[in-house]
Chains A and B, each alone.
Chain A
Amino acid sequence: MHLFRILFFYEWRHFRAARGLVLLCGLLLATGLYGIYYGTTEIARQRTQLAALPELTRRNVAELQVKFPGPADAGDIGYYHSTFAVHHPDPWAALSLGLRDVNPSYVKLRLLGLHNQLYATDNANPMKLLSGNFDLAFVLVYLLPLLIIALGFNLLSAEREEGILTLLLAQPVRPLTVVAAKLAFRLALVLGLAGLLSVVGMLWAGVPLDGRVASWLALTVLYCLFWFGVVLVVTAWQRPSAVNAVALLGVWLVLVVLVPSLLNLSVAAARPVPQGLELTIRQREEIHAGWDKPKTETMNRFFALYPQWRDTATIRERFVWRWYYAFQHLGDQAVASQAAAYARGLQARYNLVEQLNLLSPAINAQSSFNALAGSDLPTHLAFQRSATRYHDALRAFYYPFLFRKTEFTHADYAREPTHSFTSPPELTTAQHGLLKLLLSVAAVCGLGLLLLRLRPITPR
């Protein structure tokens, strides 16, 4: 143990002397801090944007109150009045932005058909989306392994190439102790950096101190351990530094770049998603055909869904709002199964990736971080379901006005339902992610130790 301490200490002195490595650690720290800064400002911006939405609704109401000074027909209000279903970010999202830039964080809703409103995107620069987010999760998942590779690619080979290993092993020290001390030093360094960044990130983002803190840290530690396991395997293989570097970078490339993009292709092929477009085209067809169909036919179909309005007056007018909103809703009904299939298809893709991400700890770590932060696809689908329920609530609010012919007064604006949705974390996904990471760590570390046992460390 004493020997281990000496070796550990000398590693520290070596490290301080190697200016390149210190620089590299500093660079990682700097990029990590930028990642945290970018993530928190991005979430702060989204919060500000979401906070501005009630004001837009208020202005819309004020305008309508001028336009309809007295009691109004609720149909007019439903047509011109818009509100928002909002998807508030969890504080954790600042550390792992996930899909929060690709998917809109609010949906603007009017009383009209839901589906041509639900899928509207927010303004986004496609070039920015293509480049992706620079958040803490990116630094941890992409860049931290590179630091580990830079620190570990010449663990023994440098000593061998410089002729020091012969001298070192001539001392009364077991080669395994040397490897262990070197790895332990680097592990302490990397875990220190990753832990520091994570804690700074959590404090900066102001996350609630719940079980997710432990999950995040455990994910980070396991992910680092995995990469150290890979370094161990390559070290045990005992090749020259250049070969080690190529091999380690090759593993990084395969796990972080190639497997994800190939997986993306195969998942898209294995789980085809019915085009969302067909859905909106079909809905448009249904809704606009509503104008040309006999009113009684439309109303009878509507009453089958809402029997409570069956006893309302028969429509004889050329145009009346309750008929208009009835066929809008029937347009939604006509594509309900298609919409469900679309959401199911997306979820099925996600599930398949969840099953297959055992192939790449990088994907696993990324999706676990996103799951903790509630910034992944399932959360967006949950938000869309929530927005759908909100649309249902809006209709339920307006129907009595429309069918009982009650007038809509200025006081009624305040009684209108409002919507708020905050990302829930997907804890089971994160737990499964932890388990799978543990499995990957066990696999590489086992392989490394086995190799060390099979191939004794030689000085040359």
Chain B
Amino acid sequence: MIRSIAQKEFVSTLRDRRFAVLSALVLVLLLAATLVGRASFRTLQRERQTAQGTVNEQFRNQPARHPHRVAHYGSFAFRPKSGLSLLDGGVDSFTGSAVYLEAHQQNSVNFSQAQQSGSLIRFGEMTVAFVLQLLVPLLIIFLCFGAFTQERETGTLKLLLSQGVSMRQVAWGKIAGYGQAVALVVTPALVLAAALLFTGEEFASNTDLVARLALFGLGYAVYFFLIVVGSVVVSARQSSSRTALVLLLGLWILGGIILPKATANLGATLYPTITKAQLDADVHEAAQHGIDGHDPHDKRAEALKANLLKKYGVDSEEKLPVSLAGVQMAAGEEYSAKVYQQHFAELNATYERQNRLSDWAGLLNPYQAIRPLSMGLAGSDFAHYVHFQQAAEAYRYALVQRLNGLQAGMGYGDKERRLDAATWRELPVFAYQAPAVGWALPRLLLPVAALLLWAAGLSWLGLRLISKSSVE
């Protein structure tokens, strides 16, 4: 019986001209967003690869220089776009794409697309995720708001129930039928996305990407399922189609537009972010006067010199086999990097606290559960961004320390000398490996749990409500 109700809903949905127009629109938008996403992905990826190649070449082809000059010359780390970011751009437009790596300090990641887009970006970006997260639920609402109310208004619900089916069976039949209709709209776009992803030479035979895409599709399937169930439940509990529609649209606006913004803004109010200027000043303070305020820079330098003299059993700097300046540079870098790490960890912890509010709101609002899940799987969320930041910092630190080591090895009077141009060719260049899905999943437990809770809760509680709701 459920099957034949599902069949009836599916067929009558397809015959409905309004649905045909709307779903064609959504499908076109999805396909367009996929193609646009791929085009912009390719451009950005190419730009960043070229830029990374350029700076790497420049670094390798430096003339003979003193290693500390090279440490100040530094390098750039460009963040490659993750494969699935063509489906969900996440925070990518707001993070900037490159960080300047140099001795003594950690720089911010500059030049975000948002800074180049003006106010328009505030209205949202046309991505596949945007269509899936906001427009498809709207389509579902338009599809389902009359599920029960229309039957009631035309009196067919009584006829249906007189056939010996229960309200619950009718509800499941309708959910299945609408589910098929939604799948019909969404699947082609996801298949196209998959085809685009796996025919491009960048992605051929990438199992991590396959896993991410599969989970991405699965996540959205659960999301659409719970929205179909929710709409059917609302329709069953309301007496007229009009109130059902208005209520559902109200929920859509609240969940999709008001709540995400409100929680993000509330988070920023509750846990204020320290300014870069203040952070730099604090770092400088700590690096100069010791992390705990007792151990000034000069004292550390003195102790280091004394230790070094003792270690090599000599009485003056000139007799040391290593350059004191180089050794001091390395010790200073180690110290300042530690200070930076501490302060950046605090800053990121503040951000995490701000974001956690939104994540917990996922328990109230499914949109705020699918959003972090989607960008987490696409590799474009905050955690992936921090991963890049840390990889860039690890590279910066290793590079600077290696250069400091080279300087130390030059011995006393190193300042007057330079190392051969060939030296720079032996240093490794920055290469970023984005983390695998296994790394991302544990960070996405809360949204996954929220989504599953919603799906299970709605199926259980909602269907109970339906079986209790009136026939009239």
Check: B275 CB closer than 8 A to any chain A CB.
Answer: yes
A268 an interface residue at 8 Å Cβ cutoff? yes
Residue B151 lies at the interface, judged by CB distance under 8 Å to chain A: no
Asked if A260 and B18 sit within 8 Å, CB to CB, the answer is no
* Residues on the A chain within 8 Å of B382, using CB: 125-127
Binds B, one of A6-14, A275-283, A402-410: A275-283
CB contact between B269 and one of A20, A41, A276, A367 (< 8 Å): that residue: A41
Interface band, chain B: 35 or more
Complex contact A256–B269 (CB within 8 A):
no
With contacts A41-B269, A108-B277, A253-B138 taken as known, whether A267 is within 8 angstroms of B120 at the C-beta atoms is yes
Binding site for A on B (CB under 8 A): 18, 29, 36, 47, 51, 54-55, 58, 63, 65, 69, 72-74, 76, 90-91, 93-98, 100, 107-112, 114-126, 130, 134-135, 138, 142, 145-146, 241-242, 245-246, 249-250, 253, 257-258, 260-265, 267-269, 272-281, 288, 347, 350-351, 354-355, 358, 381-382, 385
Chain A residues near B91 (CB-CB < 8 A): 126-127, 129-130
Closest to A357 in B: B120
In the complex, what distance in Å separates the CA atom of A392 from the CA atom of B351?
36
A360 to chain B, nearest CB (A): 9
Give the most central of B55, B119, B134, B279: most A CB within 10 Å.
B119
Q: Closest B residue to A99 by CB, please name it.
A: B119
One of A115-123, A193-201, A430-438 at the interface: A115-123
What separation, in Å, do the CA atoms of A66 and B97 have in the docked complex?
Answer: 39
Residue in B242, B267, B382 with the greatest tally of chain A CB atoms within 10 Å: B242
Judge if A133 is at the interface, Cβ distance under 8 Å.
yes
Closest to A351 in B: B118
User: A425: which B residues are within 8 A, CB to CB?
Assistant: none
Please determine whether A142 and B257 come into contact, CB atoms closer than 8 angstroms.
yes
**Contact: B73 with A52, CB < 8 Å?**
no
- Which of chain A's residues have a CB closer than 8 A to the CB of B276? 104, 108, 120-123
- Show 27 A/B contacts (Cβ-Cβ < 8 Å), sorted by A: A42-B268, A52-B277, A99-B119, A104-B276, A108-B277, A119-B111, A123-B108, A123-B274, A125-B268, A125-B351, A127-B351, A127-B358, A128-B265, A134-B265, A146-B253, A158-B242, A242-B146, A256-B123, A261-B123, A261-B126, A264-B120, A264-B126, A276-B116, A278-B51, A281-B76, A349-B117, A353-B120
- Report the Cα distance A265→B72, complex, angstroms: 38
* A31 lies within 8 A of chain B by Cβ: yes
Main DSSP-derived SS at the B contact region = helix
A288 is an interface residue with CB less than 8 A from chain B: yes
Cross-chain contact B347 with A123 (CB below 8 angstroms): yes
Residues of chain B within 8 A of A229, CB atoms compared: none
Interface bits A329-369 vs B (CB < 8 Å: 1, else 0): 00000000000000000100110010000000011001100
Contact B94 A129 (CB under 8 A): yes
Give A96's nearest chain B residue, CB to CB.
Answer: B119
> Looking across the interface, which residue of chain B has its beta carbon closest to that of A349?
B118
Q: A119, B278: Cβ atoms under 8 Å?
A: no
A342 to chain B: closest residue by CB: B116
